[in-house]
Amino acid sequence: MRRHDKRKNPRSAHVRHILVPDKPSARKIIEDISVAKNPLKTFKKLAKRFSTCPSGSKKGDLGEFTEGQMVKQFEDAVWQSEVDAVPTKFIKTQFGYHIIWVHSKSDA
């Protein structure tokens, strides 16, 4: 098992994210998504344009990961998020500020 994963069959999730270096950028992106007619389309566009993560070129798509593969703060936010809910907040990790869109989750 990796890091904080204590489960025999870890949970998994498919997510997108936008990673930015500062709080003002994260706030602006959250605001832009919240007023968009099509929030997911806007999320993808903003990920491609502003994310500092290599996944930005894939419109923020991190694909599916299993519990223990990401840093704890990121995973905690994923497990607490509703599937396909428009993000209303961001989280901070050692990599920067993340805006997360959860496509699916499973309790394997």
Res 8: pLDDT: 72
pLDDT digit string, tens, across residues 19-41 = 999 999 999 999 999 999 999 99
Work out the angle at residue 67's Cα, subtended by the Cα atoms of residues 38 and 14, and round it to the nearest 5 degrees. Answer: 25
pLDDT digit string, tens, across residues 43-102 = 999 999 999 999 999 999 999 999 999 999 999 999 999 999 999 999 999 999 999 999
Domain 12-106 indexed as CATH 1.20.950.20 = no
Res 9: pLDDT: 76
What predicted TM-score, i.e. pTM, was given to this entire model? Answer: 0.90
Q: Where are the domains of the chain?
A: 12-106
Distance CA(82)–CA(104), nearest Å, equals 9
* Cβ atoms within 10 Å, residue 63: 11
Which whole-number Å values give the CA distances from 43 to 2, 68, 69, in the listed order?
30, 25, 23
